[in-house]
Amino acid sequence: MRVLGLLSGTSHDGIDVAVVDFADADGALHGTVLHEDSVPYSPDLRARLVAALPPAPTTLAEVCELDTLIGQEFAEVAASAAASVGGVDAVCTHGQTVFHWVDAGHALGTLQIGQPAWIAERVGAPVVSDVRIRDITAGGHGAPLVSFLDELLLRGRPGVSAAVNLGGIANITITGPSGLVAYDIGPANALVDAVVVAEGLNERGYDADAEIALAGTVDEALLSALLDDPYYALPTPKSTGKEHFHLDYVREHVGGRRIADADLVRTLTELTVRTVARDVRAAGIGYLAVSGGGCHNPLIMRGLRDALPGVEVVLADELGASADSKEAILFALIGWCTMHGVAAVIPGGTGAREPRILGTITPGAGPLRMPEPVARVESLTLS
């Protein structure tokens, strides 16, 4: 079965897409990646999205319009990717997170927009969507869902191994003799991106090649205040997002002091290095596979390697999943699992009481025909 995975992450800079051809043999699943790409949002749509995200006020009318416009852009990306491989059997879309409701350490709700009916109409294949909420109803955080893929890719490695994704938020999956733990560490690129956009420091909306940060120095007083955020001390499982880590959060911590833009970006970059490295050391991790946009930041990667001299720090490509496309591959996998009746979540990964089959299904052009159910995914290889 060919499944197309789509998402836009907490960096909300564009749409990642992957098409994976899955073949199952008694639970041993092999996926051949046929297509992978990342397509930027149109500038006007991204600007409207950024303006509507918390803590900014918005209206239901704007949410409705964004739901349609994002759904249409996702549909065009999906249609192009599907055509490039001669068609797909199903699509799984994450959509765009606009709010993740966490209160007193418990996830109570989550909202992703990008109306899947537009994708189903454009591609003609059934579409799995709204994949986080079922996990939340079972007591989980709905995140990090990538822990399901990470566990399969890390399975069998000796000692304690981990995969960390450095998107807007940094999340980590840890596997070892004690089982699996996964959670959101804190901001990876979210705060840096917010400052870069607000101050017009780079038209691409992020610190490309860490050029801005490399021109600055760490403000130790600010860094110390940021590291004192109570979120970091919360027990796992836990999740967070831009509802907590956003531009006003940075401004509140700066408190009106005069800090040069380069120094501020350098300090926020160092925050990512310190928080990730601290958790890696605490867990006794010996092998760390890194993915997401942050893996292209030389300052972050150098900082992690310097802070973790006893840890093998590699790109996720070594596990078989492209560091840039791992989460798009994840949603293709979730789509395959949902269509086959397989729970695509591990309780240790999200905190859910039990595994759950994720998502809802929008039929494609014809009758909805489900494949024969599969009991479980015993193993996964990617090529």
Same domain? For 137 and 153 the reply is no
Please state, as a whole number, how many other Cβ atoms lie within 10 Å of the Cβ of residue 365.
10
Co-location of 13 and 137 in the same domain: yes
Domain match, 294 and 353 both? no
Q: Is the pLDDT of residue 120 over 90?
A: yes
**Average pLDDT of the chain, as a whole number:** 96
Residues β-bridged to residue 81: none
> Does residue 214 have a pLDDT over 90?
yes
Lowest mean pLDDT: which of 11-20, 219-228, 352-361?
11-20
- Domain end point (choices 319, 353, 372): 319
Residue 348 has pLDDT above 90, yes or no: no
pLDDT at 10: 78
Distance of alpha carbon 15 from alpha carbon 46, whole angstroms: 11
Query: Same domain for 304 and 161?
Result: yes
Give yes or no: residues 189 and 255 share one domain: yes
In a shared domain, residues 204 and 96: no
> Which of these three, 297, 319, 341, is where a domain ends?
319
Is pTM beyond 0.85 here? yes
Q: Using the predicted structure, report yes or no on whether residue 221 has a pLDDT greater than 90.
A: yes
Give the CA distances from residue 277 to residues 125, 149, 158, 180, 271, in Å, rounded to whole numbers and listed in that order.
42, 22, 20, 19, 10
With a cut of 90, say whether residue 137 has pLDDT above it. Answer: yes
Assign 211 to helix, strand or coil: helix
CB atoms inside a 10 Å sphere around CB 19:
26
Residues 267 and 291 in one domain: yes
Q: Among positive and negative, which fits the CA dihedral 75, 148, 293, 260?
A: positive
Backbone angles phi, psi at 344, to 5 degrees: -110, 45
Note down the domain range covering 85. 2-141+325-382
Looking at the structure, do residues 205 and 260 belong to the same domain, yes or no? yes
156 and 99 fall within a common domain: no
Domain containing residue 342: CATH number: 3.30.420.40
CB distance 219 to 264 below 8 Å: yes
H runs (alpha helix) in the chain: 43-52, 60-84, 116-123, 133-137, 147-154, 190-199, 211-214, 220-227, 247-254, 261-282, 298-307, 326-339, 347-350
3-class secondary-structure state, position 188: coil
User: In terms of domains, do 49 and 86 share one?
Assistant: yes
What mean pLDDT is predicted for residues 60-80?
A: 98
Asked if residue 214 and residue 131 are part of one domain, the reply reads no
Q: Which helix (H) or strand (E) holds 95?
A: strand 90-103
Please compute the mean of the pLDDT values over residues 269-279 and round it to a whole number.
98
Mind listing the pLDDT tens digit for each residue in 282-312?
999 999 999 999 999 999 999 999 999 999 9
- 77 shares a domain with 223: no
Q: Tens digits of per-residue pLDDT, 18-54?
A: 999 999 998 899 999 999 999 999 999 999 999 999 8
Pick from 273, 294, 319: which residue ends a domain? 319
The tally of domains found in the chain comes to 2
